[in-house]
Amino acid sequence: MKKVLTILTALILTVALCTACGSAKDVDLKQVMNDVNSTYSLTDMKSIDDTDSLNRYYQIDADSVKQFAAQLPSSASSFNEIILIEAVDSSAADDIKTKLDARLSSQLSSAKSYNAEQVGMIEACEVKESGNYVYLVIGDQHDEIEAAIETALK
């Protein structure tokens, strides 16, 4: 009986270990951003590399973020923007989504005031989530870029 119980316990632990390993995927968001840049020939954008800038532009605290990659337009006349964030947990992901939604609304408001031809493009964009990953793509190719990001996160 002890042998059967030992074998059964080992089998359960093995299955649990395999299941846990299979559900976690490490995604390097900086590499995803590099791949997007290469594929879609994005130019005239500057990278945000430090958490102080992340907080300045998005009001996102560094404690909520496991990793991120972000690019903003180099000129004030453009609204193209990509930000990819892996939150530390689901609660942080919800908070980050709220802050990116606020950023999107702010960009839409600015476009209505200063660059009306960009309004339709911004209105078509939305903040997306995949587990603890939250991302926002503002640009003419947002559908294609979002699809590429979704594929990378799976």
| 14 in any annotated domain | no
Cβ partners under 8 Å of residue 73, min gap 6? 44, 45, 46, 79, 80, 81
| 143 in any annotated domain | yes
pLDDT at 21 over 50: no
- Containing structural domain, residue 70: 26-153
Positions of E strands within the chain: 45-48, 65-73, 81-87, 127-130, 133-138
| 148 in any annotated domain | yes
pLDDT at 65 over 70: yes
pLDDT band for position 19 (50/70/90)?
very low
| 39 in any annotated domain | yes
| 10 in any annotated domain | no
Q: How many domains does the chain have?
A: 1
| 17 in any annotated domain | no
| 132 in any annotated domain | yes
* Cα–chain center distance at 138: 12
pLDDT band for position 16 (50/70/90)?
very low
What pLDDT score was predicted for residue 3? 55
